């Protein structure tokens, strides 16, 4: 059986199909998933356009009910969907169940939000005239998502898009179509009119340009790498399309002399290594003041020795595999490059020796800690996207802040300190969209804005009610009489 694309309310075969493999055990094939041609993409966009007039002006109760049904089913099936997600992406089962739970909560949150869309009523400067400011749907939106959160990111784009009356064409990452397909199947059964939601699986390199530049697409919401994001931004700007980009990170975690050491170690381990470091909000630069540096490194090495790398579905696994062989190679290349530049390897540094049920080796990377690194090294400039963290030794808080901000990215940042003065100063002066005080850089709520600054993000924020900025368009009406 091939898992099909969803176009105009029908399941349709793709032009080709690809095998989805388990990164913990590449002999384990999860399924064969359709890959669309450009013609099929055209059909999906046409279906969304045809559905838009009725959907965008229809009742909000129907929208709210549909979103609520989707969220409720996701939450009821969180164990099963979490196991599927862990099997295809490689985060551990508890992490995957957490991601699925987040997706369910997001749909339920937006089931409420679509009833709360408000406007403004103002007097005009002209007597007898009223001014009404309202928000309307944008139209047909293209949603393009990465492999590292294969259900939560589609959820946090689809739910607000539908809540505010847009029609959707979703293209998930080619590496992890199973979670997106399972979500599409739930959406298909929740009572939306045909064409309101369409799933087009397929390769970005084959259908990406046609998708983004299609005249039937009004707006593009993208999460993924910086290079692809920049390309999409140019394509959208040239055509006057609304665009929203969430891209990479090189997130700093500052540890000051006055930090609670066990707490600092715990949040650094969580930030850097959990979910195999494959989170855009993962901390990869640990910026540590010199009074605590040696004790911190020793405690980190000790804590890391207790981390078990293994099959994402095994109960005793702390860190699952890299999502693909290419990602594994990328992780190890960065470590090798850092050592060549003078970094000292304290822990990890290679493929982890874990064999799977089938005897074939999964894409396991040992959690890796590098010390004696400097801000200019490549390991501290570019996103690795694996369980690899480097320590940068600094003199004091002022230097820590300067190093934390010395990056082209600005997604998330964290500080471990017991000083209220430093915590507040960092909160104000860190050049990141999200700042964490005595908390891991990764791990955010679903009902508040998410996004970064500088090279990490472009356009309006995602999530919470701030998602309105992207998924609605403001209209100002002047009314006399």
Report the interface residues with ligand NAP, using CB under 6 A: 144-149, 171, 173-175, 203-205, 208-209, 211-212, 223-225, 228, 231-232, 246-249, 280, 383, 385, 411, 456
Residue whose C-alpha is closest to residue 271's, from 160, 436, 418: 436
Given the residues 73, 246, 383, 462, select the one marked as catalytic: 246
Instruction: Please confirm, yes or no, whether 246 is among the known catalytic residues.
Output: yes
Q: 219-223 and 283-289: which strand pairing? A: unpaired
CB of 249 to ligand NAP, least distance (A): 6
CB of 231 to ligand NAP, least distance (A): 6
Q: What is the dihedral of CA 306, 307, 312, 314, to 10 degrees?
A: 0
Looking at the DSSP assignment, which residues form a beta bridge with residue 168?
141, 197
Terminal-to-terminal C-alpha distance of the chain:
63
Looking at the DSSP assignment, which residues form a beta bridge with residue 368?
388
CB of 8 to ligand NAP, least distance (A): 22
C-alpha 274/C-alpha 23 separation (Å) is 16
Q: Which is nearer to ligand NAP, 73 or 462 (CB)?
A: 462
CB of 89 to ligand NAP, least distance (A): 11
Place of tokens 């593009």: 220
Residue whose C-alpha is closest to residue 366's, from 339, 403, 324, 335: 335
Q: Which is nearer to ligand NAP, 407 or 456 (CB)?
A: 456
Given the residues 167, 268, 280, 354, select the one marked as catalytic: 280
Instruction: Please confirm, yes or no, whether 462 is among the known catalytic residues.
Output: no
Are 265 and 304 in contact, with CB atoms under 8 Å apart? Answer: no
Q: Which is nearer to ligand NAP, 30 or 261 (CB)?
A: 30
CB of 29 to ligand NAP, least distance (A): 18
CB of 228 to ligand NAP, least distance (A): 4
Q: Which is nearer to ligand NAP, 69 or 157 (CB)?
A: 157
CB of 239 to ligand NAP, least distance (A): 14
Looking at the DSSP assignment, which residues form a beta bridge with residue 373?
392
Q: Which is nearer to ligand NAP, 249 or 367 (CB)?
A: 249
Are 210 and 228 in contact, with CB atoms under 8 Å apart? Answer: no
C-alpha 163/C-alpha 155 separation (Å) is 12
H-assigned helices in 363-419: 397-405
Segment (H or E) for 242: strand 242-246
Q: Which is nearer to ligand NAP, 254 or 280 (CB)?
A: 280
Looking at the DSSP assignment, which residues form a beta bridge with residue 304?
none
Region of 20 (left: φ > 0; alpha: ψ -120 to 50; beta: rest) is beta
Q: Cα angle vertex 93, ends 91, 95, to 5°?
A: 60
Q: What is the DSSP letter of 461?
A: P
CB of 252 to ligand NAP, least distance (A): 15
- What's the count of helices (H) and strands (E) in the chain, helices before strands? 14, 21
C-alpha 415/C-alpha 400 separation (Å) is 10
H-assigned helices in 311-467: 325-340, 397-405, 420-429
Q: Which two tokens stand for residue 476?
A: 């100002």
Q: Which is nearer to ligand NAP, 167 or 280 (CB)?
A: 280
Place of tokens 């996004």: 451
Q: Which is nearer to ligand NAP, 66 or 178 (CB)?
A: 178
Catalytically annotated residues: 246, 280
């Amino acid at each position: 059986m091939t898992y099909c694309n969803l176009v105009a309310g029908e399941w349709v075969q793709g032009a080709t199909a690809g095998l989805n493999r388990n990164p913990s055990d590449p002999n384990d094939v999860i399924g064969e998933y359709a890959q669309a041609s450009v013609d099929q993409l055209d059909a999906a966009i046409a279906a969304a356009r045809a559905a838009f007039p009725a959907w965008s002006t229809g009742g909000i109760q129907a929208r709210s009910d549909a979103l609520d049904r989707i969220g409720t089913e996701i939450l009821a099936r969180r164990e099963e969907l979490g196991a599927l997600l862990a099997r295809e992406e490689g985060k551990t089962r508890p992490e995957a169940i957490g991601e699925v739970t987040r997706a369910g909560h997001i749909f339920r949150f937006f089931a409420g939000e679509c009833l709360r869309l408000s406007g403004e009523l103002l007097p005009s400067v002209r007597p007898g005239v009223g001014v009404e400011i309202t928000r309307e749907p944008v139209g047909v939106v293209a949603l393009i998502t990465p492999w590292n959160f294969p259900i939560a990111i589609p959820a946090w784009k689809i739910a607000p898009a539908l809540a505010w009356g847009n029609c959707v064409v979703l293209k998930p990452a080619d590496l992890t179509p199973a979670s997106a397909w399972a979500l599409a199947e739930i959406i298909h059964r929740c009572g939306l009119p045909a064409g309101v939601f369409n799933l087009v699986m397929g390769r970005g390199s084959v259908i990406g340009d046609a998708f983004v530049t299609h005249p039937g697409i009004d707006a593009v919401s993208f999460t993924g790498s910086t290079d692809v994001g920049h390309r999409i931004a140019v394509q959208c700007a040239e055509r006057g399309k609304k665009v929203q980009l969430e891209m990479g990170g090189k997130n700093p975690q500052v540890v000051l002399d006055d930090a609670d050491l066990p707490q600092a170690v715990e949040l650094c381990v969580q930030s850097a290594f959990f979910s195999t470091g494959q989170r855009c909000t993962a901390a990869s630069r640990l910026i540590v003041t010199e009074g605590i540096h040696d004790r911190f490194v020793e405690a980190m090495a000790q804590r890391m020795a207790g981390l078990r790398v293994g099959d994402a579905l095994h109960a005793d696994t702390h860190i699952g595999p890299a999502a693909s062989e290419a990602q594994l190679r990328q992780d190890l290349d960065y470590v090798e490059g850092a050592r060549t530049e003078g970094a000292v390897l304290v822990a990890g540094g290679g493929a982890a020796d874990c064999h799977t049920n089938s005897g074939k080796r999964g894409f396991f990377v040992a959690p890796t800690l590098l010390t004696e690194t400097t801000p200019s090294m490549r390991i501290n400039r570019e996103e690795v996207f694996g369980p690899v963290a480097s320590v940068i030794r600094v003199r004091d808080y002022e230097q820590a802040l300067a190093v934390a901000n010395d990056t082209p990215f600005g997604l998330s940042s964290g500080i471990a300190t017991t000083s209220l003065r430093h915590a507040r100063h960092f909160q104000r002066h860190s050049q990141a969209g999200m700042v964490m005080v005595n908390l891991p850089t990764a791990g955010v709520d679903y009902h508040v804005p998410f996004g970064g600054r500088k090279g990490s993000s472009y356009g309006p924020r995602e999530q919470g009610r701030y998602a309105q900025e992207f998924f609605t368009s403001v209209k100002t009406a002047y009314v006399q009489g």
